Amino acid sequence: MILVTGGAGFIGSHLVDALVEKGYKVRVLDDLSAGSLDNLKNSIDRIEFIKGDMRNFETVKEAVEGVEVVFHLAANPEVRISSQSPELLYETNVLITYNLLQAIKDSSVDYLIFTSSSTVYGDAKKIPTPEDYAPLEPISVYGGAKLAAEALISGYAHIFGFRALIFRLANIIGKRSNHGVIYDFINKLRRNPEELEILGDGTQRKSYLHVSDTVEGILHIFEHFKGEGKIYDVYNLGSEDWITVREIAEIVSEEMGLNPRFKFTGGVDGGRGWKGDVKLMLLDISKAKSTGWRPRMNSYEAVRKTVRELLEEH
């Protein structure tokens, strides 16, 4: 039995669909605060679904019963709330991970796979940034919470005899996403087709990976990890190029058949979209590629495909 926490969310639901297709027995734990059962409509009759909040330890304990593999994707996905609601980011990233680890240590779980984030690197001085980059210095509470979760997972795995695999993800995009820059731009242009407000100065440049490539990478590297025998390992997952916020705005406008004025907010701290926004992010994915995985789409292709998917969805 495989447990997917946050399995009704954006990435989680795509992972659940892939696992079900491969014939695995899947249990999903989700409180539906960010996800939705609609995301699981392709798989819902073939999975076990538990609606529950991972801040409640008993709920988590019940969910891991009889489980061999846990994919831990439950989290608050919004980097931007770092300044407004740090306590929520602690609860929905660190506390729930601690509860999961406490439940796993006395269970039959052999493997824990965790989706972390490129935000743990902060403003990396080495780009593309490899997994062994140091010191890790997150510049947002979100990044700090992800790094805290990684550290707890490493400690528990080494002490309590299960194996843990961490994925540090670039910006993941695709259908079913309900936050992020592409989603925001589409909604802003629907409200006002004449003008598009862009947070920051538009020169923020980051790597984007389509969710289909992401799920493929997670499952491929997990199989590789199982054969390697390591207790704990970390992989970056992203594309090999990057794209500016301005270029994303141009693609969204073009796909919507619009020609809006761009209004840049100017941003904070040298053109960032918000305080804690990493301005330049490109991950070194050579370690992931050494296992035989590579992304099918680059950042530009992933962005264009996502715009089309989101326009079709809504």
Of 69-83, 136-150, 186-200, the least confident: 69-83
Q: Which of 121, 142, 208, 235 is catalytic?
A: 142
pLDDT above 80 for 193: yes
Mean pLDDT of 111-117: 98
User: What fold is seen in the domain 2-172+208-237?
Assistant: Rossmann fold (3.40.50)
Mean pLDDT of 34-63: 96
Mean pLDDT for the stretch of residues 3-12: 97
How does pLDDT run across 131-152, given as a tens digit for each residue? 999 999 999 999 999 999 999 9
* pLDDT, tens digit, 9 for 90 and up, residues 93-106: 999 999 999 999 99
In angstroms, rounded to a whole number, what is the distance separating the alpha carbons of residues 231 and 86? Answer: 31
Is the pLDDT reported for residue 35 higher than 60?
Answer: yes
Band (pLDDT 50/70/90 cuts) for residue 80 is: low
Name the least confident of 193-197, 216-220, 275-279: 275-279
Please report which confidence band the pLDDT of residue 294 belongs to, taking 50, 70 and 90 as the band edges: very high
The domain spans of the chain are 2-172+208-237, 175-207+240-281+292-313
So what's the pLDDT on residue 179? Answer: 87
Active-site residue, 208 included: no
Condensed to tens digits (0 to 9), the pLDDT of residues 237-286 reads 999 999 999 999 999 999 999 999 999 988 788 888 888 889 999 999 99
User: In angstroms, how far apart are the furthest CA atoms of the chain?
Assistant: 58
Tell me how far apart the alpha carbons of residues 61 and 250 are, in angstroms, rounded to a whole number: 47
* Residue of 209 and 268 predicted with greater confidence: 209
> For residues 90 and 76, what is the distance between their CA atoms, to the nearest angstrom?
9
Per-position DSSP letters for the chain, written without gaps between them: -EEEETTTSHHHHHHHHHHHHTT--EEEEE-SSS--GGGGTTTGGGSEEEE--TTSHHHHHHHTTT-SEEEE--S---GGGGTT-HHHHIIIIIIHHHHHHHHHTTSS--EEEEEEEGGGGBS-SSSSBPTT-SS-B-SSHHHHHHHHHHHHHHHHHHHHS-EEEEEEE-EEE-TT--SSHHHHHHHHHHH-TTEEEESS-S--EE-EEEHHHHHHHHHHHHHHHHHH--SEEEEEE--SS-EEHHHHHHHHHHHTT--PEEEE---BTTTBSSTT--SEE-B--HHHHTTT---SS-HHHHHHHHHHHHHHH-
81 closest CA partner among 288, 284, 275: 275
Half-sphere exposure of 33 (CA within 13 A, CB side): 15
Interatomic CA distance for residues 94 and 111, integer angstroms: 19
* Residue 311, C-beta contacts closer than 8 angstroms, at least 6 positions apart: 186, 255, 256
Question: Which architecture does CATH list for 175-207+240-281+292-313?
Answer: Alpha-Beta Complex (3.90)
